[in-house]
């Protein structure tokens, strides 16, 4: 079983829809939670970053972390065709000699105009 599970999609929605993207994880040591967006044939770019539990809002994007359930979400309001991309969740702990992120496999989102 992977440490981070993410539904690969694809997820197809009409323009203006609310999108919900989710990840579950198994490692209770994870403290930092991030969402990256990756356009086709490009490198991932940071979209949202959250420390520990709670919500964070940035424009049309809201990130939620529920550590008790080991579940994180990304909501996109008023989705636009330019939001069409693959969304990767990522997380890390505070411990380790290896300060790398563990990624989900990514969810491909297509917003139809």
Partner 1 sequence: IAGITQAPTSQILAAGRRMTLRCTQDMRHNAMYWYRQDLGLGLRLIHYSNTAGTTGKGEVPDGYSVSRANTDDFPLTLASAVPSQTSVYFCASSQGGANVLTFGAGSRLTVL
What residue ranges bind partner 1 (CB under 8 A)?
A: 6, 8, 32, 34, 41-46, 49, 51, 88, 90, 92, 94, 97-106
Is the Cβ of residue 32 or residue 75 nearer to partner 1 in the bound state? 32
Is the Cβ of residue 18 or residue 26 nearer to partner 1 in the bound state? 26
Is the Cβ of residue 14 or residue 100 nearer to partner 1 in the bound state? 100
For the bound state, the minimum distance from the C-beta of residue 109 to partner 1, rounded and expressed in Å, comes to: 15
SS (H, E, C) the chain: CCCEEECCCCEEEECCCCEEEEEEECCCCCCEEEEEEECCCCCCEEEEEEECCEEEEECCEEEEEECCCCEEEEEECCCCHHHCEEEEEEEECCCCCCCCCEECCCEEEEEEC
């Amino acid at each position: 079983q992977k440490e981070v599970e993410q539904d690969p999609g694809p997820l197809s929605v009409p323009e203006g829809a609310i999108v919900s993207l989710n990840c579950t994880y198994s490692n209770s040591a994870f403290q930092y939670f991030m969402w990256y967006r990756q356009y086709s044939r490009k490198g991932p770019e940071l979209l949202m970053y959250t420390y520990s539990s709670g919500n964070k809002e940035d424009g049309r994007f809201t990130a939620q972390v529920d550590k008790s359930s080991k579940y994180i979400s990304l909501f996109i309001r008023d989705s636009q065709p330019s939001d069409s991309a693959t969304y990767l969740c990522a997380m890390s702990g505070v411990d380790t000699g290896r300060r790398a992120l563990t990624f989900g496999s990514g969810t491909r989102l297509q917003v139809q105009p």
